[in-house]
């Protein structure tokens, strides 16, 4: 089936993916733009995983100061080239991430940033809560696992729901940006300042 240039243009505008990839996805989807978007998203996730090992020495440090100057965030995001660091997708991602950190008060980027002692301390707290609430012994483990999972989704940046689209996590947003830019992107570090803390 011949793919029209107009459909390729529409798909490029919606996804930010290159012409040849859009053409291939439209061919695979028999010209259906929505199916082509789904195909590109699946490929994007796969290619993002392949890029994960590539070195990231370029990027940006984004600063967000909340109106009233009582809250501020600095976040370092790295990519492979200075070219990508200047793209609208990358810059927009950096700004959104700084606002996310300001709004949600994340404590770490991922679960791996917490020590085994911290995790065990949380387990003990939830175990004690479960026993105090009179939960049956056979469900305490599942209860504690669920509470720990919920705890990490609140305080771990990559697991948080994106403030502009709560159905999407920050990790999913990061994967989309990696797919659009074609480079490995890493959230290196962040700090959140709040007056009086």
Predicted TM-score (pTM) above 0.75: no
Residues 92 and 162 in one domain: yes
- Residues 56, 61, 66, 71: is their CA dihedral positive or negative? positive
Residues 89 and 160 in one domain: yes
Residues 78 and 147 in one domain: no
Q: What is the pLDDT of residues 19-29, one digit of tens each?
A: 777 888 888 88
Q: What is the pLDDT of residues 77-123, one digit of tens each?
A: 999 888 988 999 999 999 999 999 999 988 999 988 888 888 888 88
Residues 98 and 88 in one domain: yes
CATH number at residue 121: 1.10.286.20
Q: What is residue 50's predicted lDDT score, i.e. its pLDDT? A: 54
Residues 75 and 33 in one domain: no
Q: What is the pLDDT of residues 10-20, one digit of tens each?
A: 877 776 666 77
Q: How confident is the model at residue 46 (pLDDT cuts 50, 70, 90)?
A: very low
Q: What is the pLDDT of residues 143-155, one digit of tens each?
A: 888 888 898 889 9
Is the separation of the CB atoms in 131 and 144 below 8 Å? no
Expressed as residue numbers, the domain containing 120 is 111-154
Q: What is the pLDDT of residues 74-85, one digit of tens each?
A: 999 999 888 988
- In total, how many domains does the chain have? 3
CATH number at residue 66: 3.30.479.20
Q: What's the rounded mean pLDDT across residues 53-80?
A: 88
Residues 161 and 150 in one domain: no
């Amino acid at each position: 089936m011949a793919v029209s240039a107009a459909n390729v243009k529409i798909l490029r505008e919606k996804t930010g993916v290159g012409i040849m990839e859009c053409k291939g996805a439209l061919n695979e989807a028999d010209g259906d733009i929505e199916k082509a978007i789904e195909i590109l998203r699946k490929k994007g996730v796969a290619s993002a995983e392949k890029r994960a090992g590539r070195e990231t020495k370029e990027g940006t440090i984004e600063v967000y100061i909340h109106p009233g100057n009582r809250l501020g965030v600095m976040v370092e995001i790295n990519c492979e080239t200075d070219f990508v660091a200047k793209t609208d997708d990358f810059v927009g991602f950096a700004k959104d991430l700084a606002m996310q950190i300001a709004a949600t008060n994340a404590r770490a980027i991922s679960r791996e940033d917490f020590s085994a002692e911290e995790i065990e301390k949380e387990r003990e707290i939830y175990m004690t809560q479960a026993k105090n609430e009179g939960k049956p012994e056979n469900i305490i483990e599942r209860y504690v696992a669920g509470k720990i999972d919920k705890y990490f989704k609140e305080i771990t940046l990559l697991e948080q729901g994106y403030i502009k689209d709560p159905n999407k996590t920050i990790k999913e947003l990061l994967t989309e940006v990696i797919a659009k830019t074609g480079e490995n992107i890493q959230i290196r570090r962040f700090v959140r300042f709040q007056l009086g803390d």
